[in-house]
């Protein structure tokens, strides 16, 4: 793939036409500048997007966000909508970490009031929010209780005192996907998940304490509860071993399912099943159950973060209210207007965030006028963004936007070029407290390994699929 | 027999080669240990036997490696000795190893992406992509 294969529509939009390859069913629409595209031209991101354009039942183009990078099967930053129920659902197009996502909590506590306690805060957050390799979560449950978590999602957390109604209202889908079916989740997946409820895991997952910096839209920031100079907490994690096992189980099972339904694909990781078949319905039930697990996982970590804040800062200003919780690896049945028709589709978002605009059903009343918060974590130690969904995202990208900065360096290159202990010292010198389970793991997440998140945000903002609200910078980083 | 890491932006990709299919499977398992930086603890050796079926060799390989990952996470066992028999689409394995003491980075899953076992004049080889 090179630039000659792409049609430049404008500075921020490109297309891979449907006739690029004979098995494509739809074109690929890329939201990116030339500079961002140059960073992925040597990897397989665009080839994977072309492969995604062969999934049966696609409605509208495959969309690729500016934070795109190479994944496996489906590119990270990809969005694809398939007609429900006759189109397919593809586990690999959602990913192993089902409902990996981000939660943002905000306070009215100013950085200046908290600066002296940041070190203690980092230690307490690290203590109360289990992270890294290992099993133990905030709670350990038996299988019947886990089934209730899988079925009820954040309603379980509310019933058990870990959440408030306000938290649920400000969580995508209220923290509970309808149609979750714990019976379609394997015993092995449940065994992996039952001790991990309320745990961060490792990899690129993190908890950060941030300070709200520049505000770009005062009115919307006020509705979201974001005040310049005040502390916020961002939690990034997913469904842990349970979700990984659900995806593993169904990708394996669907290897024969595609043969049964006569589906030919260019990559076995894209295996899929029509949603109106028993196999497709089973995966949807299991995937939704794993998504509910992830909502509870982030809710319990939010509960633990509040515990740390309350223990240190004995003031109401330190209360962490929820701004929003969103998924960026998920398959959701939604209704969108596509090429002039209102269609019910399964929107596969893999490394892409839902970005519903103002007036979209399902948003809490207070966000009906603003659109939903779109949370875009940047690379470690740089900046994160809060954006808002727009009407344009509903028209152009199935109500979706970017999910982060997007990697450009391999993990091995990052470890060769950066030492974890040096990076930690550098971050600490900039006033960022760091708690990390592994120094090589920290090195892998060096900011140089990622694109410039500001450039990514500039692109989605210019295309109009999200608008800038606020920019946050970290003061505490907790990594597994 | 051996493996090498290939460039991949976000996950881990390797090329692995061996004289025959069972050795390829064993080497792929060893590659996961190396990439994850597993450290074993001294103590009584742990043994595990299992049998699996797959629709083809690639499917068998993914299932086999997924079993290893599961043992690593749930049973905290790291295997270093592999006796593998493959007959058609059936695999039987006798594994030995130690208790897992620590690892630097877990593998989330073994994917089918770019997975094609090829037979060469020296044996067989394939690429593998691990989600991390």
The whole-angstrom separation of Cα B21 and Cα B66 is 17
CB contact under 8 A, A438 and B74: no
Token code pair at residue A210? 């941030």
Place of tokens 């792929």: B28
Q: Is B120 exposed, middle or buried (0-12, 13-18, 19+ CB in 10 A)?
A: exposed
Helix (H, G, I), strand (E, B) or coil at A328: coil
Q: Provide the 8-state DSSP code for A19.
A: G
pLDDT value of residue A438? 81
Chain B residues with beta carbon closer than 8 angstroms to that of A271: 112
Cβ within 8 Å, pair A248-B110: yes
Q: Is B119 on the interface with A (CB under 8 A)?
A: no
Distance CA A298, CA A100 (A): 10
Q: Which of A183, A182, A198 is nearest to A136 (CA)?
A: A198
Cβ-Cβ contacts under 8 Å, B8 against chain A: 43, 70, 410
Q: Which tens digits make up the pLDDT trace of A342-396?
A: 999 999 999 999 999 999 999 999 999 999 999 999 988 899 999 999 999 999 9
Place of tokens 């892998």: A444
The pLDDT tens digits of the residues spanning A115-154 come to 999 999 999 999 999 987 766 899 999 999 999 999 999 9
Strands A466-479 and A433-436: parallel
In this complex, the residue of A248, A409, A444 whose CB is nearest that of residue B66 is A248
- For residue A203, pLDDT beyond 90: no
Q: pLDDT digit string (tens) for A153-191? A: 999 999 999 999 999 999 999 999 999 999 999 999 999
End-to-end CA distance of chain B: 24
pLDDT tens for A268-309 read: 999 999 999 999 999 999 999 999 999 999 999 999 999 999
Report CB contact under 8 Å: A72, B129. yes
pLDDT in tens for each of the 132 residues of chain B?
999 999 888 899 999 999 999 999 999 999 999 999 999 998 999 999 999 999 999 999 999 999 999 999 889 999 999 999 999 999 999 999 999 998 888 899 999 998 999 999 999 999 999 999
Helices H / strands E in chain B, number of each: 2, 8
DSSP secondary structure code for residue A228 in this structure: T
More confidently predicted of A398 and A407: A398
Residue A202 has pLDDT above 90, yes or no: no
Q: Which of chain A's residues have a Cβ under 8 Å away from the Cβ of B10?
A: 69-71, 76, 407, 410-411
User: Which is higher by pLDDT, A203 or B42?
Assistant: B42
Q: How far is B82 from chain A (nearest CA, A)?
A: 23
Q: Contact, A110 vs A385, CB < 8 A? A: no
Element (H, E) at A52: helix A45-52
* B121 reaches A (C-beta below 8 A): no
The answer to whether B59 faces chain A, any CB pair under 8 Å, is yes
Residues of B in contact with A195 (CB under 8 A): none
Q: How confident is the model at residue A22 (pLDDT cuts 50, 70, 90)?
A: very high
Per-residue buried b or exposed e for A129-160, using 16+ beta carbons within 10 Å of the residue's own CB: bbbbbbbebbbebeeeebbbbbbbbbbbbbeb
| Residue A67 C-alpha, separation from nearest chain B C-alpha, in angstroms | 12
Q: Is there a contact between A407 and A102 (Cβ–Cβ < 8 Å)?
A: no
- At A4, is the pLDDT very low, low, confident or very high (cuts 50, 70, 90)? very high
């Amino acid at each position: 793939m090179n630039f000659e294969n792409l049609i430049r529509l404008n500075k921020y939009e490109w297309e891979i036409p449907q006739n690029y390859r004979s098995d494509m069913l739809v074109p690929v629409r890329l939201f990116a500048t030339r500079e961002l595209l140059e960073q992925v031209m040597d990897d397989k991101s665009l080839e994977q997007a072309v492969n995604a354009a062969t999934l049966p039942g696609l409605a509208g183009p495959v969309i690729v966000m500016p934070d795109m990078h190479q994944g496996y099967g489906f590119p990270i930053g990809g969005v694809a909508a398939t007609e429900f129920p006759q189109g397919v659902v593809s586990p690999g197009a959602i990913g192993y970490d089902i409902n990996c996502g981000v939660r943002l909590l905000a306070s009215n506590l100013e950085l200046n009031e908290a600066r002296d306690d940041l070190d203690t805060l980092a230690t307490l957050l690290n203590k109360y929010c289990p992270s890294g390799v290992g099993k133990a979560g905030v709670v350990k449950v038996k299988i019947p209780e886990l089934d209730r978590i899988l079925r009820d999602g954040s309603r379980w957390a509310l019933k058990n005192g870990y959440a408030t109604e306000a938290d649920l209202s400000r969580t995508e889908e209220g923290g509970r996907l309808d149609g979750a079916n714990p019976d379609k989740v394997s015993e092995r997946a449940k065994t992996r998940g039952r001790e991990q409820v309320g745990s961060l895991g490792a990899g690129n997952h993190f908890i950060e304490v941030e300070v709200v910096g520049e505000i770009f839209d005062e009115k919307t920031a006020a509705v979201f509860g974001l005040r310049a100079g005040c502390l916020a907490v961002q939690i990034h994690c997913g469904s842990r071993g349970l979700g990984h096992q659900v995806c593993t189980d169904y990708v394996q099972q669907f290897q024969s399912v595609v043969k049964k339904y006569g589906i030919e694909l260019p990559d076995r990781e894209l295996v899929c099943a029509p949603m109106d078949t028993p196999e497709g319905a089973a995966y949807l039930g299991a995937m939704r159950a794993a998504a509910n697990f992830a909502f509870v996982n982030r809710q319990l970590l939010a509960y633990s973060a509040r515990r740390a804040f309350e223990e240190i800062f004995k003031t109401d200003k330190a209360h962490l209210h929820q701004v929003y919780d969103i998924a960026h690896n998920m398959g959701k049945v939604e209704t969108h207007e596509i090429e002039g028709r209102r269609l019910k589709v399964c929107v596969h978002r893999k490394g892409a965030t839902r970005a519903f605009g103002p007036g979209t059903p399902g948003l809490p009343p207070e966000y009906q006028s603003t659109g939903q918060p779109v949370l875009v974590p940047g690379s470690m130690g740089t900046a994160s963004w809060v954006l808002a969904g727009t009407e344009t995202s509903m028209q152009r990208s199935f109500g979706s936007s970017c999910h982060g900065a997007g990697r450009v360096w391999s993990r091995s290159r990052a470890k060769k070029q950066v030492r974890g202990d040096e990076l930690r010292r550098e971050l600490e010198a900039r006033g960022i407290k760091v708690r990390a389970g592994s120094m090589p793991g920290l090195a892998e997440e060096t900011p140089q390994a990622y694109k410039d998140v500001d450039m990514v945000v500039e692109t989605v903002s210019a295309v109009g699929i999200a608008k800038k609200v606020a920019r946050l910078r970290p003061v505490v980083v907790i990594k597994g | 027999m051996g493996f090498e890491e290939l460039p991949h932006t976000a996950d881990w990709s390797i090329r692995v080669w061996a004289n025959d299919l069972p050795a390829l499977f064993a080497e792929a398992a060893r590659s996961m240990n190396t990439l994850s930086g597993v450290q074993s603890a001294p103590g009584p050796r742990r043994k595990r036997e299992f049998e699996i079926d797959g629709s083809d060799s690639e499917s068998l390989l993914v299932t086999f490696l997924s079993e290893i990952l599961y043992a690593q996470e749930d049973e905290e066992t790291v295997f270093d000795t592999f006796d593998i028999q493959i007959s058609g689409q059936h695999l039987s394995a006798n594994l030995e190893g130690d208790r897992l003491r620590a690892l630097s980075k877990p593998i989330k899953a073994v994917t089918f992406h770019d997975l094609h076992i090829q037979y060469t004049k020296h044996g067989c080889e394939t690429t593998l992509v691990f989600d991390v």
